[in-house]
């Protein structure tokens, strides 16, 4: 598989399988290895995700799984 680079720093992006906090639907997350604030992308098309998961099961490849990344909502601002 070809590596995809971060648009900010050009370091490789990690590909992770994750699950929605509320919906519990699976999705694929692309995230910058160097600094997750640089880039986070999400693929949520369920037919595509099923196909990717089936291919990785057949070829014994693994996609690291992550559940519950982040808290969502608004960030707390620092007092200056």
The answer to whether 63 and 17 are in contact (CB under 8 A) is: yes
Question: Does a structural domain hold residue 77?
Answer: no
User: What burial letters (b/e) apply to 19-40, b meaning 16+ CB within 10 Å?
Assistant: eeeeeeebbbbebbeeeeebbe
pLDDT at 11 over 50: yes
Percentage of the chain lying above the pLDDT 70 cut: 68
Taking residues 5-24, what's their average pLDDT?
A: 89
Q: CA-to-CA distance for 19 and 57, rounded, in angstroms?
A: 18
Could you read off the pLDDT of 35-59 as tens digits, one per residue?
A: 989 999 999 999 988 888 888 776 5
Question: Does a structural domain hold residue 24?
Answer: yes
Question: Does a structural domain hold residue 22?
Answer: yes
pLDDT at 68 over 70: no
Q: CA-to-CA distance for 4 and 6, rounded, in angstroms?
A: 7
pTM: 0.61
Domain count of the fold of the chain? 1
Find the domain containing 36 and state its range: 13-67
């Amino acid at each position: 598989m070809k590596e995809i680079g971060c648009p900010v720093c050009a370091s490789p992006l990690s590909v992770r399988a994750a699950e929605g906090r509320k919906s519990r639907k699976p999705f694929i997350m692309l995230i910058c290895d160097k600094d997750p604030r640089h880039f986070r992308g999400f693929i949520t098309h369920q037919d595509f995700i099923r196909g990717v998961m089936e291919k990785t099961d057949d070829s014994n490849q693994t996609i690291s799984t992550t559940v519950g990344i982040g808290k969502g909502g608004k960030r707390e601002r620092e007092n200056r």
